[in-house]
Copies of this chain bind each other. A is one copy, B any other.
Amino acid sequence: MINAIKERIKAAKKEIPADLVLKNAKIVNVFSGTIQEKDVAVHNGVIVGAGRDYHGIIETDLKGKIVVPGLIDGHLHIESSMLTPSNLAAALLLHGTTTVVADPHEIANVMGMEGIRFMLRDSTSIPFDFFFMAPSCVPATPLETSGATLNAADLSELKDHPRVLGLAEMMNFQGVLMGDEQAIKKIDLFSDMILDGHCPSLSGPELQAYLTTGIRSDHETTVLSEAVEKLENGMMLMIREGSTVKNLEELLPLVNAGNARRCCFVSDDLHGEDIQQNGHLDNTLKKAVKLGLDPVTAVQFVTLNPAEYFGLKDRGAVAPGYCADIVVLDDLESFNVDSVYKDGILVKDSEKLVNFPGQNNVTSVQPCPLNMGPLTTQDLAIPYPGGQARIIETVPGQILTRLINEEPKSENGFIVSDVESDVLKICVAERHEASGRIGMGLVRGFGLKQGALASSVAHDSHNVIAVGVGDEEIVAAVEAVRIMGGGLALASGNKILVSVPLEIAGLMSTKPISDLVRQLKSVKDAAFQLGCLAEEPFMALSFLALPVIPELRLTDRGLVDVNQFKSVPLFLDEG
């Protein structure tokens, strides 16, 4: 390090040529809030000066283009992209993102610490910085079977990792408020680090009680008044623009000169298709500026502000001594990314990714085949006792579901899918401990006229979930997922029409984004062919197992009435 510092000093003093000089830049200065026409000199991966008359081994004339610091996303679940960390990095670099703070809680629910270790391993040796937060809520609830339980003692191994910054979103805010021993222990363990929050709609004394623990951020805010209250109480307001949930438009009116430093943009959950089509933070910046946010303030939201919040003092600015994570933009309206430098190395030129290690650089992951036996149609049999059943009704475009009570269709004393009234059989098969446990239910909203969909992505415990018309079709789809060792599959009759392997924990593909998006499109198109009405069939399916969002969900342990936060039987008369 000592020689590197000396070299940088010399390059800054122009005694030796810099590695790289970006000439004629318009630099967004996040400290002064101004835009300055200068050259940027870079040496040994670090910015050594912004001024004039530098000589560089490489000199690039930016011709007045805009220069901003590498963009930082302070809250993202890598697994939602179905890409490995390294493949996601490749995808995000194209959009100017150079740093992500990730919560690996999906893989942790499947593989525990080994999954987190994989994420750490796969995110090394790439020109992109993944930092991680220790998942705080694995499993998310006691109403389902996950692949691992992480208590405070387990997480302590992560504390000293140089890329672990603290405790990830404490989703169990009710537990915190009730003084739950494990929740408080985890908070205490990470109390000298960053504690991220997650507290939708929490307010008043309960919000403040949550904050007395040292938790300091929230990304679940959806209402303006809620945002005002959280910010005033000291929370870093992580305004979320993800693939499914978008809060920017609602929350932006909150921002003014007095509080702007306390806000940042995050994406939380981001899908491969969305990245390829719309981008990442570059797209959020464009939207924010279109909605009236000052462009320099907007840039601070994804650079200096998250860097300060996470204590990442080497990034978030284009200034001497900061790492040379630099994004060249066409302008501050379109936020079109012209080129990107990571640690001073060009990683995206005007057309494509460059200098990025081979796309198939996935670090070996401990194989984690689905731990479940083969399914049979007998497993799916639901004897009909008569009367009404609790049916899950999906709500288009939302992850919320409704609980409706209706008399289901039956044949020979057993429930069958009812294509006419769109009430289909759905199951969640336990896949972590080969218990053979299976939860059965009924769902309205998928609209399938034939066939079945199955997936090993089923929040948050990621058991295998399937919906379908015929029992043989459901069995075929689940079997395909099981044999692939995780993934998505679509069956018609007992034939598999399309499948997408998600070899890593049943959550992530080893393919690069372009291949994966192509696969996902084909499986989606096939679902539409079978009559599926859900806009995102597999995503809609994956959320039906999440027992923390109202109203009715299905886990491997059966139906959960989320409003009551308890298990309920399928039939009312059994209650």
Contacts and interface: CB of A to CB of B under 8 A. Distances in A.
Most B C-beta atoms less than 10 A away, residue of A176, A181, A213 = A213
Interface in A307-334: 308, 311, 313-314, 317, 319-322
Contact of A320 (B11, B34, B211): B211
A508 interface: no
B9 A204 contact: no
Contacts of A10: 179, 209
A232 B176 contact: no
A402 interface: no
A212 B50 contact: no
B232 A184 contact: no
A385 interface: no
Contacts of A5: 184, 187-188, 212-213
Nearest to A207: B320
Given A184-B2, A185-B2, A191-B1, A212 B9 contact: yes
Contacts of A51: 204-205, 208
Given A179-B9, A208-B12, A233 B320 contact: yes
Contacts of A308: 308
Most B C-beta atoms less than 10 A away, residue of A9, A48, A177, A191 = A9
A215 B259 CA distance: 27
Interface string A198-231: 0000001110111111111000000000001001
A320 B234 contact: yes
B233 A319 contact: yes
B31 A179 contact: no
Given A13-B206, A32-B231, 6 more contacts: A2-B184, A5-B184, A32-B258, A49-B212, A208-B320, A233-B320
A29 interface: yes
- Counting contact residues on chain A (CB < 8 A from B), the size range is 35 or more
Contacts of A11: 212
Contact of A177 (B9, B46, B206, B311): B9
A55 interface: no
Copies held by the complex: 2
A252 to B, nearest CB: 16
A468 to B, nearest CB: 46
A258 B214 contact: no
A6 interface: yes
A105 interface: no
A262 interface: yes
A34 B205 contact: no
A438 interface: no
A369 B13 CA distance: 46
A261 interface: yes
21 contacts: A6-B184, A8-B212, A8-B213, A9-B176, A9-B213, A12-B212, A13-B177, A13-B209, A31-B231, A31-B234, A31-B262, A34-B258, A48-B208, A48-B209, A49-B208, A49-B209, A50-B233, A215-B321, A232-B319, A234-B321, A257-B257
Contact of A31 (B50, B177, B259, B317): B259
A14 interface: yes
Contacts of A31: 231-234, 259, 262
A293 to B, nearest CB: 14
Interface in A1-53: 1-2, 5-6, 8-14, 29, 31-34, 36, 43, 46-51
A296 interface: yes
A321 B213 contact: yes
Nearest to A14: B205
Contacts of A12: 205, 208-209, 211-212
A174 to B, nearest CB: 12
A188 B2 contact: yes
A6 B179 contact: yes
Contacts of A204: 51
Contacts of A176: 9
Interface in A432-473: none
Interface in A158-196: 176-177, 179, 181, 184-185, 187-188, 191
A313 B216 contact: yes
A377 to B, nearest CB: 50
Given A232-B31, A258-B33, A205 B321 contact: no
